[in-house]
């Protein structure tokens, strides 16, 4: 028997209305809403449902404790699940699952795209053109321009996306320093596991790929930024609060850090008054790493697969 399933904010993923819902419709008794804003709406729409699908919605303790007994599974349509109160879900005997692998390639590729853009100062060149400055075409090159071959790529977090980023870095001839509590063999002399301090001191590019938890919040801060080389660049395609943005702005303004590329921000969506928007040595994108069409369709399909597996008592990526 198909499980009754509600997707509370499908437009967060299907924002262009191009995705195929057939797997949901085959696997479940399916209802979707483009968006669900208030707690009252959530409670109304989960009534009688067995599976609740959300994408980066805040589902707190008080709300979960009011969920009807019919709810057996909350599916986070994404990797991070810090927005769901796992203790409350466990108390209500509601399983929580996520989809950690749907955007591995696309996010890893974005991180390396940022590395290449920063090394070639493409963002600075484009900003010059936007201001009508064509000096790069008529004079000697006015911006820094470096090879990544032989440079040190520091990866904080050696999970699936971190590993994808490492593979791309190795293909470009980079040396890799990894900080992760669970070292895995690479069989490549260009890869070394090191402590955080050593990584920060020796990396030319620092790429963040760790989950957001109390121990990693603001892992990039004034103290850790003081360890990096002034010529180094920071890349964050993971979670915005891994970085203390006020400390980052100061480092970027004072030359303690050469530049940064940020697909995530400490507060999302970032508002126009965020000072990072107004720094020439910063690339900002609106959390696009997971938003490629193929990644989003894969996400839908994997969520549907999770629900089918759960209904059949088969293994699912349960996080609580």
Task: Report the C-alpha gap between 268 and 270 in whole angstroms.
Answer: 5
Look at residue 19 in the predicted model and tell me its pLDDT: 96
Question: Above 80 in pLDDT, residue 237?
Answer: yes
Question: Above 90 in pLDDT, residue 80?
Answer: no
Look at residue 319 in the predicted model and tell me its pLDDT: 76
What letter would DSSP give residue 211?
A: P
Catalytic residue, candidates 26, 44, 197, 268: 268
Mean pLDDT of 11-16: 96
Per-residue model confidence as pLDDT tens digits over 245-261: 999 999 999 999 999 99
Look at residue 314 in the predicted model and tell me its pLDDT: 83
Look at residue 255 in the predicted model and tell me its pLDDT: 96
Task: Report the C-alpha gap between 113 and 105 in whole angstroms.
Answer: 12
Look at residue 199 in the predicted model and tell me its pLDDT: 98
Mean pLDDT of 194-210: 97
Per-residue model confidence as pLDDT tens digits over 29-49: 999 999 999 999 999 999 999
Question: Above 80 in pLDDT, residue 315?
Answer: no
∠277-278-279 over CA atoms, to 5°?
100
Catalytic residue, candidates 109, 163, 209, 239: 239
The architecture CATH gives domain 4-98+293-312: 3-Layer(aba) Sandwich (3.40)
- Fold for domain 104-280? Rossmann fold (3.40.50)
Contacts of 126 (CB under 8 A, 6+ apart): none
Residue among 232, 161, 153, 248 at smallest CA distance from 194: 153
Look at residue 317 in the predicted model and tell me its pLDDT: 75
287 is a catalytic site residue: yes
* Mean pLDDT (the chain, rounded): 94
296 is a catalytic site residue: no
In the chain, CATH 3.40.50.720 covers 4-98+293-312, 104-280
Contacts of 138 (CB under 8 A, 6+ apart): none
Band of pLDDT at residue 79, cut at 50, 70 and 90: confident
Residue 145 CA: distances (Å) to CA of 81, 168, 247 = 39, 20, 26
Look at residue 1 in the predicted model and tell me its pLDDT: 75
Band of pLDDT at residue 203, cut at 50, 70 and 90: very high
Strand partners, 191: 176
Is 156:207 a contact under the CB 8 Å cutoff? Answer: yes
268 is a catalytic site residue: yes
Burial class (CB in 10 A: 0-12, 13-18, 19+), 319: middle
Mean pLDDT of 6-34: 95
Encode 89-102: b = buried (16+ Cβ within 10 Å), e = exposed: beebebbbbbbbeb
Max CA separation in the chain (angstroms): 71
Mean pLDDT of 19-32: 94
pLDDT > 70: percent of the chain: 100
Tokens of 196: 């955080």
Per-residue model confidence as pLDDT tens digits over 279-293: 999 999 999 999 999
**pTM greater than the 0.85 cutoff:** yes
Look at residue 64 in the predicted model and tell me its pLDDT: 97
Is 226:260 a contact under the CB 8 Å cutoff? Answer: no
Residue 296 CA: distances (Å) to CA of 13, 54, 77, 225 = 6, 14, 10, 34
Length of the chain: 320
Look at residue 185 in the predicted model and tell me its pLDDT: 87
Per-residue model confidence as pLDDT tens digits over 125-172: 999 999 999 999 999 999 999 999 999 999 999 999 999 999 999 999
Question: Above 80 in pLDDT, residue 81?
Answer: yes
Is 83:76 a contact under the CB 8 Å cutoff? Answer: yes
């Amino acid at each position: 028997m198909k499980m009754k399933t509600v997707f509370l904010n499908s437009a967060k993923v299907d924002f262009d209305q191009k995705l195929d819902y057939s797997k949901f419709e085959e696997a479940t008794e399916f209802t979707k809403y483009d968006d669900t804003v208030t707690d009252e709406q959530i409670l109304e729409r989960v009534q009688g449902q067995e599976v609740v699908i959300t994408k980066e919605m805040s589902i707190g303790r008080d709300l979960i404790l009011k969920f009807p007994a019919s709810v057996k599974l909350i599916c986070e349509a994404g990797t991070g699940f810090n927005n769901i109160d796992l203790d409350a879900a466990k108390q209500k005997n509601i399983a929580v699952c996520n989809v950690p692998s749907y955007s591995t390639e696309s996010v890893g590729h974005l991180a390396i795209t940022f590395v290449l853009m920063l090394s070639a100062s493409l963002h600075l060149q484009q900003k010059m053109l936007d201001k009508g400055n064509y000096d790069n075409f008529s004079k000697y090159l006015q911006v820094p321009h470096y090879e990544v071959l032989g440079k040190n790529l520091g990866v904080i977090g050696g999970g699936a996306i971190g590993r994808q980023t490492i593979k791309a870095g190795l293909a470009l001839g980079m040396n890799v320093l990894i900080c992760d509590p669970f070292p895995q063999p690479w069989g490549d002399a260009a890869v070394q596991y090191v402590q955080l301090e050593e990584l920060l001191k020796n990396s030319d590019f620092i790429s963040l790929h760790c989950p957001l938890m109390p121990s990693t919040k603001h892992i990039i801060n004034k103290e850790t930024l003081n360890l990096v080389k002034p010529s180094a660049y920071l890349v964050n395609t993971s979670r915005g609060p891994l970085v203390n943005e006020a400390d980052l702005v100061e480092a970027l303004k004072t030359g303690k850090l050469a530049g940064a590329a940020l697909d995530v921000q400490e507060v999302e969506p970032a508002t126009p008054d965020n000072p990072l928007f107004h720094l020439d040595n910063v690339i900002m994108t609106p959390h696009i790493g997971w938003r490629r069409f193929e990644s989003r369709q894969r996400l839908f399909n994997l969520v549907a697969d999770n629900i089918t597996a759960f209904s059949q008592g088969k293994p699912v990526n349960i996080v609580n």
